[in-house]
């Protein structure tokens, strides 16, 4: 990326010149921050398949719902530009696949290492500026729920008017109860723009009594982590308040490479950035600035059925319930149960006489928790990691850019996988030091490379890949290829793969 592409970010005076002088409206550009891990929603959410990729409250994943969140935004007819998605490099293929499945065009900026939301927004703003347009960024986490889209649009439209004039806008959720799990925002005097107020201060997560005082005062809202700001305004603000973040992100972006729909930031430069949130890096600085402040912080209230769905009790709270206040998803039966949340991914869950429980079943793990302890699920994930359990990182069914595999059985010196390859896709050209593989085609047609040979396998045909032999599996057909793979050997870990060639750029 050429440094000249970011000229707007070097000149705040120029970039903050309002477009209202000509009557034109700036384009609105969604920025979706999709770098979360969602450990409190284990066992559905895993390190390599986090909560934003899962349909926790509907048919769409949380990411897909977020990508559609600005659909139909018609206030004063703003132009909606293609989204910029900032996501973990590990999640890039599934993120792109889910967006394509819903007809969404986006550029994916890949974080080589996690550095929190302030650096993530900074590289997204630099990406927006490099197109030559100083758009209004609507910054949304990928893992939230908004029930009332029309109310959300009204808040976005109000915030965009302030953002066009150079303000940095945050949405503040109108609180419904004294919540200790969220940060709070104190709302100040009315701003010049209709529907907006001045930002007075950010407050850390309070204890219960203080949260009750905030609720009763009517002066505070929950911090939703949703922001509206011109791209040039954000880059100028981060350079002013956090020059180390700005410098690291600028180097990371200028030295980035483009790989199809992916923008790969320079790893070393991005890793050198301090890890900080948007709140700490800039918003709290705005609130504490003495007059005259260089940048204006603005708050727009949001009353739209918002939830950060950060834990299983939050999921329970937003879903419809039966007469006994139970929530069932999948194969679930209740008998004398009350206030129970049960989620089955396959097997039948029978809840008899349960109360205030969360029960979540997946193919390789089951969670049973008291709803009042839902926040403690994160501690279990930490213990699984410390004991090197695979259940913290992956589901039994593991997604790959070419399709997926499911480890259906394993034991001493053997493992059985069901492998599904998408039409036209192929695995890497690879070799294993410690295992041999037997492949049986059960559906579709396979193109097999084995050493110097290349041949076709049809349904009910099989082949054998000895230890140390270079091989590749491809699907040349128009339907999914399904094979059963039986591995045998002294070591069967996924790190025993030597790749010689890979369509998807994996190493």
Q: What is the 3-state secondary structure (H, E, C) of 444-505?
A: CCEEEEECCEEEEECCCCEEEECCCCCEEEECCCCCCEEEEEEEEECCCCCCCCEEEECCCC
d(CA 436, CA 464): 8
Cβ-proximal residues to 430 (8 Å cutoff; 6+ apart), any chain: 470, 471, 472, 497, 498, 499, 500
pLDDT for 19: 43
User: Which of 143, 145, 126, 144 minimizes the C-alpha distance to 135?
Assistant: 126
- How would you class 346 by CB atoms within 10 Å of its CB: exposed for 0-12, middle for 13-18, buried for 19 or more? exposed
59 pLDDT tier (thresholds 50, 70, 90): confident
Cβ-proximal residues to 490 (8 Å cutoff; 6+ apart), any chain: 413, 434, 435
Other CB atoms within 10 Å distance of the CB of residue 432:
22
pLDDT exceeds 50 at position 361:
yes
pLDDT for 24: 58
What CATH homologous superfamily does 21-307 map to? Spore Coat Polysaccharide Biosynthesis Protein SpsA; Chain A (3.90.550.10)
d(CA 224, CA 308): 8
Q: What is the CATH number of domain 397-501?
A: 2.60.120.10
pLDDT for 9: 41
The alpha carbon torsion through 428, 432, 437, 442 (nearest 10 deg) reads: -10
d(CA 417, CA 265): 34
Mean pLDDT of 167-171: 95
Mean pLDDT of 86-104: 89
pLDDT exceeds 60 at position 337:
yes
Mean pLDDT of 298-305: 95
311 pLDDT tier (thresholds 50, 70, 90): very high
d(CA 142, CA 426): 30
- Taking each helix axis as running N to C, give the angle between helix 231-241 and helix 243-254, from 0 to 180 degrees, rounded to the nearest 10: 130
pLDDT exceeds 70 at position 146:
yes
User: Which of 378, 399, 383, 389 minimizes the C-alpha distance to 38?
Assistant: 378
Alpha helices in 259-299 (DSSP H): 267-271, 278, 284-288
d(CA 192, CA 421): 57
What strand order describes the sheet that includes 462-465?
A: 397-400, 403-411, 414-421, 481-489, 435-443, 462-465
Beta strand segments in 332-382, E: 332-335, 341-344, 349-352, 357-361, 366-370
Q: Where are the domains of the chain?
A: 21-307, 312-386, 397-501
pLDDT digits (tens, 9 = 90+) for 259-273: 888 999 999 999 999
Task: Give me 491's structure tokens.
Answer: 């070591």
7 pLDDT tier (thresholds 50, 70, 90): very low
**Backbone torsion region of residue 120, taken as left when φ is above 0, otherwise alpha when ψ lies between -120 and 50, otherwise beta:** alpha
pLDDT for 22: 41
User: Which of 423, 438, 418, 427 minimizes the C-alpha distance to 400?
Assistant: 427
pLDDT for 292: 60
Place of tokens 């039409």: 423
4 pLDDT tier (thresholds 50, 70, 90): very low
Place of tokens 């060639």: 501
Place of tokens 């920025």: 31
36 pLDDT tier (thresholds 50, 70, 90): confident
- Taking each helix axis as running N to C, give the angle between helix 243-254 and helix 117-130, from 0 to 180 degrees, rounded to the nearest 10: 50
Mean pLDDT of 377-404: 94
pLDDT for 291: 62
- 378 in helix, strand or coil? helix
Mean pLDDT of 240-269: 95
d(CA 185, CA 152): 18
Least confident among 12-26, 157-171, 235-249 = 12-26
pLDDT exceeds 70 at position 2:
no
pLDDT digits (tens, 9 = 90+) for 198-231: 999 888 888 999 999 999 998 999 999 999 999 9
d(CA 272, CA 73): 38
């Amino acid at each position: 990326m050429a440094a000249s592409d970011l000229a707007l970010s070097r000149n705040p005076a120029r970039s903050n010149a309002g477009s209202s002088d000509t009557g034109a409206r700036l384009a609105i550009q969604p920025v979706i921050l999709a770098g979360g891990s969602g450990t409190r929603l284990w066992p559905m959410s895993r390190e390599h398949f986090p909560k934003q990729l899962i349909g926790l409250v509907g048919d769409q994943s949380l990411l897909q719902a977020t990508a559609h969140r600005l659909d139909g935004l018609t206030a004063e007819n703003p132009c909606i530009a293609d989204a910029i998605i900032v996501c973990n490099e590990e999640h890039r293929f599934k993120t792109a696949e889910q967006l394509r499945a819903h007809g969404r065009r986006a550029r994916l900026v890949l974080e080589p290492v996690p550095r929190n939301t302030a650096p993530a927004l900074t590289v997204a703003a630099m990406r927006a500026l490099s197109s030559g347009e100083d758009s209004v960024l609507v910054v949304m986490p990928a893992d939230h729920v908004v029930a009332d889209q029309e109310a959300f649009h009204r808040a976005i439209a109000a915030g965009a008017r302030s953002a066009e004039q150079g303000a940095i806008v945050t949405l503040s959720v109108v609180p419904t109860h004294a919540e200790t799990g969220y940060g709070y925002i104190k709302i100040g005097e009315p701003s010049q723009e209709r529907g907006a107020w001045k930002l007075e201060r950010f407050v850390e997560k309070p204890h219960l009594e203080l949260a009750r005082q905030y609720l009763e005062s009517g002066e505070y809202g929950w911090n939703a982590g949703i922001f509206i700001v011109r791209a040039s305004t954000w880059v100028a603000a981060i350079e002013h308040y956090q020059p180390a973040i700005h410098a690291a992100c600028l180097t990371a972006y200028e030295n980035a490479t483009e790989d199809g729909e992916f923008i790969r930031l320079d790893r070393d430069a991005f890793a050198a950035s301090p890890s900080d949130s948007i709140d700490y890096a800039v918003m709290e600085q705005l609130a504490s600035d003495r007059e005259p402040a260089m940048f204006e912080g603005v708050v727009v209230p949001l009353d739209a059925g918002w939830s950060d769905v950060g834990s299983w009790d939050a999921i329970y709270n937003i879903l419809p319930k039966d007469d006994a206040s139970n929530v069932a998803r999948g194969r679930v039966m209740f008998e004398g149960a009350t206030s129970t949340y049960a989620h089955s991914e396959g097997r039948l869950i029978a809840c008899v006489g349960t109360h205030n429980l969360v029960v979540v079943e997946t193919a390789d793990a089951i969670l049973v928790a008291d709803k009042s302890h839902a926040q403690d699920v994160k501690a279990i994930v930490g213990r699984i990691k410390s004991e090197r359990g695979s259940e913290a990182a992956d589901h039994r069914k593991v997604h790959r850019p070419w399709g997926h595999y499911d480890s259906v059985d394993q034991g001493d010196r053997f493992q059985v996988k069901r492998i599904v390859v998408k039409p036209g896709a192929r695995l890497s050209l690879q070799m294993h030091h410690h295992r041999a593989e037997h492949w049986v085609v059960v559906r579709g047609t396979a193109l097999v490379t084995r050493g110097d040979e290349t041949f076709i396998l049809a349904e009910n045909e099989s082949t054998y890949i000895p230890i140390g032999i270079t091989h590749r599996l491809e699907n040349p057909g128009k339907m999914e290829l399904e094979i059963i793979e039986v591995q045998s050997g002294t070591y069967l870990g996924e790190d025993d793969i030597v790749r010689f060639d890979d369509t998807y750029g994996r190493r």
